[in-house]
Amino acid sequence: MPWMNRWVGTPILSQLGRLFFHSQVHDFNCGLRAYTRAAFLNLNLRTTGMEFASEMIVKSALLGLNVAEVPATLSPDGRSRPPHLRPWRDGWRHLRFLLMYSPRWLFLYPGLAMILTGAAVCAWLLPKPGRIGDVGFDIHTLLYAFVSIVLGFQFVAFATFTKVFAISEGLLPNDPRINRVFRYLTLETGLIAGILLTLAGLGGSVLAVSEWGKTNFGALDPSRMLRLILPSVFSLMLGVEIMCSSFFLSILRLRRR
């Protein structure tokens, strides 16, 4: 194997595959495989490129099949033509496949990290400005913190959409955890949460206008007013997104029923 494939591409992709799918296979790219006929048909393989090798391992792990590795010796095959493998293109196809089949690592975990980070910064800076050493943080950092929460929610929503769609299309096996979550996260609970957040945002906006009116609609203290306006705008945005996401998720689940 070329050194790039042997020491960089294959080890990294295989390590990601083991991390994402809890598989013990050391070489995700090896195409030398043996299956029982029943197991192979149950995998319902779909890909059409070099990522076909990874799909076998990923779906075997997702379906809980028994997998064992047997040492093999590679020898030159005496081909007169160059190999079909294109390292960068095929490496990207493998990586893209691993990410698409793991909504947790592609969307959920980054989204949760963004939500937690943004919420921590908001709790710190919303009451008053803060400092770390000689560096001061104020409303500009607070704005990015609120944006982080909104983007994080979108990532988590995409993780849920992707999981439901993949299960509906037979790309991923059924996940009992999803069914348990949906016992509580119904369309109605999403609408109620979205409406409450929207009303809170509208109430904060009315309060902000009232504060503005006390100055005869003149100049305001930006630092003080933005600490009222930013949570209001955030509540409006997140409330509408939750309502729309709840409807879209209910549409995706129609086929599953």
Residue spans per domain, the chain? 3-69+87-100, 103-256
DSSP state of 8: I
Note the pLDDT of residue 214: 82
Note the pLDDT of residue 83: 66
DSSP state of 184: T
In DSSP terms, 112 is beta-bridged to: none
Note the pLDDT of residue 184: 82
Helix (H, G, I), strand (E, B) or coil at 131: strand
Tokens matching residue 187? 């369309």
Virtual torsion, Cα 101, 105, 106, 112, nearest 10 deg = 140
- pLDDT-wise least confident of 30-39, 78-87, 195-204, 239-248: 78-87
Whether the pTM exceeds 0.85: the reply is: no
Note the pLDDT of residue 17: 92
Helix axes 139-168, 109-125, angle to 10 degrees: 160
- What are the residues whose beta carbons fall under 8 Å from the beta carbon of 24, sequence distance 6 or more? 18, 67, 69
Cα separation of 54 and 72, whole Å?
18
Half-sphere exposure of 21 (CA within 13 A, CB side): 30
Which stretches does DSSP call E strand in the chain?
130-132, 135-137
Note the pLDDT of residue 237: 94
* Whole-number percent of the chain with pLDDT over 90: 46
Answer yes or no: are the C-beta atoms of 125 and 138 closer than 8 Å.
yes
Q: How many CB atoms lie within 10 A of CB 52?
A: 15
Tokens matching residue 245? 């996401």
